Amino acid sequence: MSKKQDNEDRQMEKNHMRQRRALNNALGSILGTQNSQTFLAFGFEDALDLQIERIEGESTALRPNRLDRVDKIENELLKAVLELKDIPPENFLSVDATTDVNTPPDDFFG
């Protein structure tokens, strides 16, 4: 390869790199502007709408909304309380200082 050919190849490579850099900068500028506009377009009302959708929006068995989740927790808790009420008091264990936690029975609620 001659020196002239080598210089032409290097010059062509520099031109290609300059063109790529210019295209890359232009694309980056366009995408940056799009991202900024998208971010600015997302307002407080949009955020509220998304939260409302999460709370009371469409609900499925696999993805329940927040209201359905709270209802499920409430129903499970009420069911557990009713089951506990049906257990005779003599079935509950008495306090045993050797096996129970170190909280005195009188101090449990205050």
Question: Is the full-model pTM beyond 0.75?
Answer: no
The pLDDT assigned to 42 comes to: 82
**Contact call for residues 56 and 67 (beta carbons, < 8 A):** yes
The pLDDT assigned to 106 comes to: 63
Query: Half-sphere exposure of residue 25, counting CA atoms within 13 Å on the CB side?
Result: 6
Mean pLDDT of the chain: 86
**pLDDT by residue (tens digit) across 38-81?**
777 888 888 899 999 999 999 998 999 999 999 999 999 999 99
The pLDDT assigned to 99 comes to: 72
Domain residue extents for the chain: 7-41, 44-87
CA distance 91 to 110: 26
The pLDDT assigned to 65 comes to: 93
Angle (CA) 48-54-55 rounded to 5° is: 90
CA distance 13 to 19: 10
